[in-house]
């Protein structure tokens, strides 16, 4: 068989090869997928996986949510459990069980981060989840972390004041660290995450604060920096969001739903999926009860500085 080609055929092949090379050389790199993050809160896991509170077996709820997160997020994504990982007193057995229940996240290539709630205890948590303890402590006796996600900084703060006491506190040392962090860069948007809700006024009748007792100092600092776009919290076992009253810069307050039980039967249990772009953070709640009225509800937070 004759495999020789004539001059016209050669010129046609050369032209097509040059075009293919030129197209490949000028091709733009494929766009990177938008960073993903899962926001969980209030898992309240007991050492005994069969423990039930308010009609809910907490271990079962966490197992379901972990499975959903693994299915929904690509490898390399981040997962935050925003406090009250343990049932009541942050006991070593609680965290041993918690560690087993969240192990599929690591197996799927997802990066786990936790914050401290009022039912947590830093020492036992670090014993069970040693990778959560940083060698570079930002604030003494506080669990602080920063996740650089695309163009956004996600700052994890520690509002644990005393174990198994409802009151939360940011504290002077952590506020000073946050002040310095926010002043160091004015261009990157910031999302702040901590367990306790804000509480601007002292409770009536001399009762203990149920939220952050230094809320005024904390929010004053956040509002001084327009690059702070949202404050995520848990603690109240509710899913709701609003903009901080009178805040022209639109500081969103995002109350994460509980993975475990709810205090109000109308509230959903579940988790929130976040998708980050350069301009906004898109949030969607994943309710464990797919028929719940809030199922797949979305919220958009501007990240424009």
Instruction: Determine contact, residues 199/154, Cβ cutoff 8 Å.
Output: no
pLDDT digits over 1-13, tens only? 433 344 444 344 3
Average pLDDT, the chain: 91
- Position 232 confidence tier, pLDDT thresholds 50, 70, 90: very high
Structure tokens at 127: 């014993």
Residue 237 has pLDDT above 50, yes or no: yes
Return the pLDDT at 28. 66
- Position 249 confidence tier, pLDDT thresholds 50, 70, 90: low
Ordered by where they begin, the domains of the chain are 32-302 (3.60.21.10)
Residue 139 has pLDDT above 50, yes or no: yes
- Position 177 confidence tier, pLDDT thresholds 50, 70, 90: very high
Return the pLDDT at 31. 67
């Amino acid at each position: 068989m004759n495999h020789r080609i004539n001059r016209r055929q050669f010129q046609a092949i050369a032209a097509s090869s040059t075009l293919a090379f030129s197209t490949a050389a000028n091709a733009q790199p494929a766009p990177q997928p938008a960073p993903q993050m899962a926001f969980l809160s209030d898992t309240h896991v007991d050492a005994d996986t069969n423990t039930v509170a308010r009609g809910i077996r907490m271990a079962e709820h966490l197992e379901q949510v972990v499975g959903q997160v693994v299915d929904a997020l690509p490898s390399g994504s981040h997962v935050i459990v925003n406090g009250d990982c343990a049932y009541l007193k942050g006991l070593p057995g609680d965290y041993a069980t918690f560690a087993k229940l969240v192990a599929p996240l690591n197996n799927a290539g997802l990066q786990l981060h936790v914050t401290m709630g009022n039912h947590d205890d830093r020492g036992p948590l670090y014993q069970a989840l040693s990778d959560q303890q940083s060698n570079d402590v930002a604030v003494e006796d506080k669990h602080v972390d920063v996740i650089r996600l695309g163009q956004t900084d996600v700052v994890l703060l520690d509002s644990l004041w005393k174990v198994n006491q409802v009151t939360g506190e940011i504290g002077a040392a952590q506020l000073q660290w946050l002040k310095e962090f926010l002043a160091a860069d004015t261009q990157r948007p910031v999302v702040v995450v901590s367990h306790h809700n804000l509480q601007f006024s002292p409770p009536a009748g001399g009762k203990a604060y149920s939220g952050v007792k230094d809320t005024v100092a904390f929010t004053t600092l956040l509002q001084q920096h327009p690059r702070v776009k949202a404050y995520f919290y848990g603690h109240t076992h509710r899913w709701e969001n609003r903009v901080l009253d009178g805040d022209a810069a639109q500081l969103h307050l995002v109350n994460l739903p509980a993975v475990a039980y709810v205090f109000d039967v109308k509230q959903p249990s579940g988790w929130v999926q976040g998708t980050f772009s350069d301009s906004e953070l898109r949030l969607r709640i994943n309710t464990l009860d797919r028929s719940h009225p809030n199922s797949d509800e979305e919220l958009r937070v501007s990240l424009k500085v």
